Structure 1
Amino acid sequence: MKIIQFITHMHELGGAQMHVYALSKALKSSGHEVTVIGSGSCELTEELTADGIPYIPLRWLTVPIKPTWDLRAFFEARRIIKKIHPAIVCIHSSKAGIIGRLAAGSLSIPVIFTAHSWSFSGELSPRKKAFFTYLERQMGKTTDGIITVSHHDFMQAIEKKIAPRRQMQLIHNGIPDNERRIIRAKNSYDPVKLLMVARFAEPKNHRLLLISLSRIKQHPWHLTLVGDGPLLEASKKLAEDLDIRDQVTFTGEDRNIVKHMNEADIFLLISQSEGLPLSIIEAMREGLPVIASDVGGVDELITHRRHGLLVAKGSEGDLTAALHQLITNNYLRDSFGNMARQTYEKSFTFSRTFEQTENYYKEIVNRRLLT
């Protein structure tokens, strides 16, 4: 089956980009002919090309709304889709979700949209929320199938009347297992090693994490922050201002996440909004306890006081208390980490995600053929 994977941009190592990368490689291995299109490039696109999966960069596609550019991006995407003539176009992220569905629809090609989180989620003004909800509702009418990666996003779509239930499918994200997983010996005199892997940009909340940790800087902890982004320098300055710079390592962008997780004792994801974060699933795979903001689909991964601790969005008090509790309690860390690993094995492997996704692609193509 010829398949196009269409994503807004591939110039960073985000969750949606990693999902498209892994899914495209698995689809090719399963015998499908896959092409990826989007804007920008990174090492992921180079690896896709090296593996025989064409990547076609779009010149006019941007994240912000730019009517003239968006119109050009529509015709550019339509020309490429028409030339490839796939059995289905599978779209990821909001901007591609609009342009791709319009382009594929104009060619009568079946289309699936994967909502890694909805455009109307997060910290938006009521006016913007209403506008993006209206857009998603209109696009839902042009979509053969919608995949949500969390039950939270599925129920949001029902509540906002984005599409009827029969048009949607819940498929949780999953990642491949790490066969060489290392169980790191913990010395009692080591500082507790904290890790957060996230871009320094909204909706992530590095600021809240640093402020909360400064309240307990007398405890033996060390924080590693992996990622790049526009708020990186401001975060470095904040760490200095809070007098915790010596306890924080900023690595910049680094794809070797497993190395950092093998060295960590606690994984953190402090954010204002999420879909179903791959970084938490990676931490569960490595048997790490998790402290995370209770937003989006996070509670579908982490059960409070079973796999880690969930904290209220934006609550410095909640976060400081959770950090203190896990930093000072080795037994809880081990217990939560073991349960996280078991839950990963049961529910969040990539093989499970891929099987459900491939079957849904086939179902949508066959459904269109019968109409």
Structure 2
Amino acid sequence: MKKIKILHIAQSEIGGVTEYIKMLLKYMDNNKFEFYLIGSKQYESQKNIFKELNCKIITVDMKRKISPKSDWKSILNIRNYIKNINPDIIHLHSSKAGALGRIASIFLNIPVVYNAHGWAFDMNLSKKKKLMYVYVEKILARFTDAIVDISDHEEDSQKKYKIKPKKYTKVIYNGIDLERYNMKYDIQKIKQKLNIPSNAFVVGMVARISEQKSPESFLKIASKLQEKLGNCYFILVGDGDLRSKIENLVDKCGLKNNFLITGWTNEVPKYISIFDIGILTSKWEGFGLVLAEYMAAKKPIVAFNSGGIPNVVKDNYNGLLFDYGDIDSFYEAIIKIKNNGEFREKLISNGYDVVNERFNVERVAKEHEELYLDLVVNV
């Protein structure tokens, strides 16, 4: 039987989208599918990893910001690669790759799947800019066979603005590779290597350092905790365009000796293992996949109640949620979890059950296989 060629296209910075694609590659049936990836130049550092996952990778120049001249060059390059690869399915990830990829694939008669991973118009935007993004998505939906939403919130936003693909929308809740969190780590050894005091109370967040994730909120919370407890350590696992700004704020807040920014890393589970609490301070969020990672690692959660996060965390059951910007309640919740062992264990136990029942990536991979097969058969 001839293998079905799946071409993924992604522009986004290394982070959640990249991990999502890696998980699909790892758990989908290699006997049925053959995988390709067109990624931005940032994916150069990931080439060996994708090759190990039996995915042929090509990098092209794709800018995050809108640039007519640069974007047109990207579209022409992507179109040429699409023609050379001749895939059976094109799967586009996030808004920029979604726009470039759909324009590049017009009239090629190849089924197109689009996953926004959080709609751009759900961001904190001016009314004019929001409507512009909605209009663009509605137009591009005419060249999209299927849209994958990763949360109920994402589907609700799509329905609200009447964004209709040619065939259908499918909600496929996000998932994580639980296998990565079955490893046992020597927490004290890791702390020692990172120069973290052995008895420090560690609050951590895994996130791209960008406006969306609101790292300045993390700093406000960190300052309050350090003032109250005096024996805290804070870890931000990730990188991004606001890193320099956040590093300057860390200094101004007097947290230089208590704060670590790891940069991009393939050792996320290792860092999460030393968290006492995992947090997420996003302004908007399509899903909040890292919250499932915290649960798999048996860490209690505090987060802002943004976008699709309630699909992952039920308040007061497997975590605590607060309105975006409510720094005082967020900080007090961390104190409560630290001081109340019984409550903390309840959140951890419920979270571990939830992630195993609902967010196993093997289920995500199977649902994608079904989607791809349906599109190929019914094209």
Same fold (TM over 0.5): yes
Q: State the partner residue of 2:192.
A: none
Larger deviation: 272-281 or 324-333?
324-333
CA separation in 2, counterparts of 1:101 and 1:242?
45
Q: State the partner residue of 2:120.
A: 119
1:317 aligns with 2:328: yes
1:207 aligns with 2:209: no
Q: State the partner residue of 1:22.
A: 23
CA separation in 1, counterparts of 2:331 and 2:161?
35
1:339 aligns with 2:367: no
CA separation in 2, counterparts of 1:228 and 1:183?
23
1:231 aligns with 2:245: no
1:130 aligns with 2:131: yes
Q: State the partner residue of 1:198.
A: 207
Q: State the partner residue of 2:10.
A: 7
CA separation in 2, counterparts of 1:191 and 1:156?
41
CA separation of 1:254 and 1:164: change in aligned 2, threshold 3 A: closer
Report sequence identity in percent: 27
For these two proteins, the number of residue pairs brought into alignment is 363
CA separation in 1, counterparts of 2:187 and 2:349?
15
CA separation of 1:164 and 1:65: change in aligned 2, threshold 3 A: closer
1:241 pairs, out of 252, 256, 259, with: 252
CA separation in 1, counterparts of 2:140 and 2:165?
13
User: 1:85-104 counterparts in 2 under 5 A?
Assistant: 85-104=86-105
1:31 CA displacement: 3.0
The normalised TM-score by structure 1 is 0.92
Q: Deviations over 1:64-96 (max 9, x none)?
A: 111122222222211111121111111111111
User: 1:274-285 counterparts in 2 under 5 A?
Assistant: 274-285=285-296
CA RMSD, 1 decimal:
2.1
1:142 CA displacement: 1.2
The normalised TM-score by structure 2 is 0.90
Q: State the partner residue of 1:327.
A: 338
Q: State the partner residue of 1:351.
A: 362
Q: State the partner residue of 2:74.
A: 73
CA separation of 1:174 and 1:299: change in aligned 2, threshold 3 A: same
Structure 2 residue ranges without an equivalent (≥5): 189-197
Does the CA-based 8 Å contact 2:174-2:287 persist in structure 1?
Answer: yes
1:231 CA displacement: 2.2
CA separation in 2, counterparts of 1:14 and 1:161?
29
CA separation in 2, counterparts of 1:185 and 1:104?
49
Does the CA-based 8 Å contact 1:147-1:169 persist in structure 2?
Answer: yes
CA separation in 1, counterparts of 2:344 and 2:19?
28
User: 1:136-175 counterparts in 2 under 5 A?
Assistant: 136-163=137-164, 167-175=168-176
Q: Deviations over 1:120-175 (max 9, x none)?
A: 11111111101000000011111110001111000100000011796100001111
CA separation in 1, counterparts of 2:322 and 2:166?
31
1:262 aligns with 2:280: no
1:282 CA displacement: 1.0
Structure 1 ranges of 4+ moved more than 4 A:
183-186
Q: State the partner residue of 2:191.
A: none
1:42 CA displacement: 4.1
